[in-house]
Every structure is written in C-alpha cells, then in structure tokens.
Structure 1
Amino acid sequence: MHIFIVYSHPDEYSFTHSVLDSFILGIKESGHTYELSDLYKMGFRSDMSLDEYKRESSQNISLPIPVDVKYEQDKMKRADLIVFVYPLWWSDCPAKLKGWFDRVYTVGYAYSDDHSESKIKIQKGLAICTAGHTEKHLEEVGVAESMRKILLYDRLQNVGIKETELVILGGTANKEEHVYKYNLERAYKLGKGL
C-alpha cells in the first residue's frame, strides 16, 4: 500500500511531529511505502491567488492550476490511502492545512459544477489529530462531532473518499509523560496496522 501523508505543524520539535515520526515508523515496519507533504517545511502557500479564486468560483475555469497544486494532486493519484496529521487549533486544523484543501481540491478534480464524479480515487482517509483537551472532553462539548462533520464528511467523503476515520490523540495539555507515551504508541500502531 502507498500512503500519502499531509502533515501540518510549524515546529519540528512538537508533540505532533513526534506523532508523525511514530506513525511513519509503524508504516515502515509494516512494509508499506509513503510520501510526505510537510506543509510548513515545503512553504506551501495556503491562500488562494485571485486567479485561483476566479477559477474555483467558475468565473474562468480555463485559468491554469498552479504547479504546487498539481504536485499535490499527483501525490494523491499515486496513493491508496491519504492521512492527515495535525494539531487541533481552535476546534479545527491549522490554517495551512485548511488552505491545502482550498487550493488542492480544484474544480474539475475534486468537484465540478455539473456534479460529475470526483477524480479523486483514494478509497480510504485517516486523520490523526493531536489535542490538548481529552477526547472525552471534545466529545462532551461537541467539538469532536464537528471535526468529524467538517473533516470526514465535507473534506473527505464529499470528494469520494469512502472509508474515513478520525483519531484524536488528546489530553496533552497537562504534559503528563504517560499520556504522551500512550498517544505515541497509538500512532505507531495506526501506522503498523495499515
């Protein structure tokens, strides 16, 4: 299986980066291949240009798709599974990852005005989200359900990715070592179990 990982965090020494490393270790030990887009490291531009907006709002769909967007779409074409690894910030993903969806899900690729089928052929999507709050708390206040609706339904299922899962690695706000270890083990097992 070939896995495309979209990672979004600015700090390479963050807990979220440790989660990414643990997940990738599991992937390697399972014998799968992977490709990584580290959005901050690669300087991915998250905001649409005026031409991109005009293309996506169907004012002029003949405008070209930017090269960096095509690279991301090519990575998706090679993948059997797409995985998003990111922290929870204000009940959603970082703006850079939101911008990835805004720019990479282009008209004629992820959706179309005539409601024809998406060209995204990946069947499985996984989101691994780190959070300061516990998963229980995020469920109780409705944030976890909101995350599932927005990420799993709108950003994945809505473009043809049929099997989706959100894994919240939470409870890190208190900086307890056993919580970090537990979550890193979960990330490793997720990669190993693919």
Structure 2
Amino acid sequence: MNVFVVYAHPSTKSFTHQILEGLLRGLQIGGHNIKVSDLYKMNFRSDMTEHEYEREGFVQTDLPLPEDVVTEHQKIEWADCVIFLYPLWWSDCPAKLKGWFDRVYSVGYAYGYNKEGQKIRKMKMVKYGVAICTAGHPNDFLKETGIAESMSKIMLDDRLGVRFENKKMMILGGTLDIEKVKNLHLNNVMALGQHIETFFLKK
C-alpha cells in the first residue's frame, strides 16, 4: 500500500516525534511504500498569498498553482492511505497543518463548482484517511468536554470529508503522564502501521 504521512510538529524531542518514528517503523514492517511531508522540516508555507486567495475566492482555476502545492497534490494522488499526525493545540491542529489544508485543498482540486453548478473537484477518492493526534489531557476528559467530538467533526467530517472512502481518528491522550501511556500509544501506532486494513475493521 502507498502511504502518505503529513506530519506537523516543530520539535524532534517531542513525544509526537516518537510517535512518528513508531508509525514509520510499523509501516516499514508492514511492507508499505511511504512518503512523508514533515511540514516544519520542509518549511511549508502555511499562509495563503494574495494571488492564491484570488484564485480561491474568485474560482479562477485557470491561474497556476504554486509548485509546493502541486507537489502535495502528486503525493495525494499516489497514496492509498493518507495519515495526518499532529499534536492537539487549543482543540485543533497546529497552524502549519491548518495552512496545509488551506493551500493544498485548492479550488478545482479538493472542492469547487463551476457556474453551472457542476462539481470541479479533481482529487481522487483516497481509500483510507487517518488522523492521529497526541494530547496532554486523557481521552476521557476530551470526550466529557466535547473536545474529542469537535476534533472528529472538523478533521474527519470536514477536512477529510467526501475525499476519503474510510476515515478514522486515533487520539493518543494522557501524555501529561507520559510514562503511563508511552508504551501503549507507541504499540498502537506500530500496529496501525503494520495492519491498516485491520485498524479500520475495529469499532
């Protein structure tokens, strides 16, 4: 399987980076082909330019896309599975990843309609989409406060939306007590990497 990992965290010393390493090990053991966009490492520009906004806001799909956006499109088209890995910051993903969606989900590619009301989305339907999120608070707290539900609606229902055939979120909570959850979370992402199809069969 071709797996595209979109990773957003600024520090290689973070637990999220350990999760990335564990996920990649699992994917390698599972025999998958892997491409990674490490958004901070590649200094991905998250802010949309005025030119890009004019293309988006006025549906001027004849205007060219930036080269870095086209490169991300190519990775999506190559992938059978896209995994988004990031920390929970103020109930959402880091701005760097939000900017990835703002720019890469360009009109005419990830969404859009022409003047006749016909869809002009060219992005293929990806078979699997996974959002993996590390969080300081335990999962129970995130569920009780409604944050987990909000995260799922924004990431799965909107950002992945109709573009993915199968969608699932894995919240790796409780990292404020890292020694308590570290091995469990690392084992879970390694298992996901090795057996993506099985992960989607679980309730």
State the TM-score bracket (shorter-chain normalisation).
Answer: over 0.9
Query: Does residue 1:172 correspond to 2:168, yes or no?
Result: no
Q: Amino acid of the residue matched to residue 67 of structure 1?
A: E
Alpha-carbon distance in structure 2 between the residues aligned to 1:25 and 1:116: 39
Deviations 1:40-74 (A, max 9, x none): 00000000000000101126333210000000000
What is the CA-CA distance between 1:123 and the residue it aligns to? 2.0
Which stretches of structure 1, 4 residues or longer, exceed 3 Å deviation after superposition? none
Alpha-carbon distance in 2 for matches of 1:132, 1:15? 10
Sequence identity percentage: 51
Match of 1:186 in 2: 188
What are the superposed Cα offsets for residues 98-156 of structure 1, whole Å, 9 maximum, x if unpaired?
A: 00000000111001123516322212100110000111110110011001110001001
Letter in 1 for 2:181: V
1:11-45 Cα shifts (integer Å, max 9, x gaps)? 01110000011011011001111100000000000
Normalising by structure 1, what TM-score? 0.95
CA deviation profile, 1:53-96 (whole Å, cap 9, x unmatched): 01011263332100000000000010000000000000000000
Match of 2:28 in 1: 28
Name stretches of at least 5 consecutive residues in structure 1 with no aligned partner.
none
| CA distance in 2: counterparts of 1:109 and 1:123, whole angstroms | 17
TM-score after normalising by structure 2: 0.91
Find the counterpart in structure 1 of residue 200 from structure 2.
none
Report the Cα offset of residue 162 of structure 1.
2.1
Partner of 2:18: 18
Q: Does the aligned pair in 2 maintain the 1:133–1:172 contact within 8 Å?
A: yes
Q: Which amino acid aligns with 2:54?
A: K
Which of 151, 155, 160 aligns to 2:159? It is 155
Aligned to 1:103: 103
Structure 2 stretches lacking a partner, 5+ long: 197-203
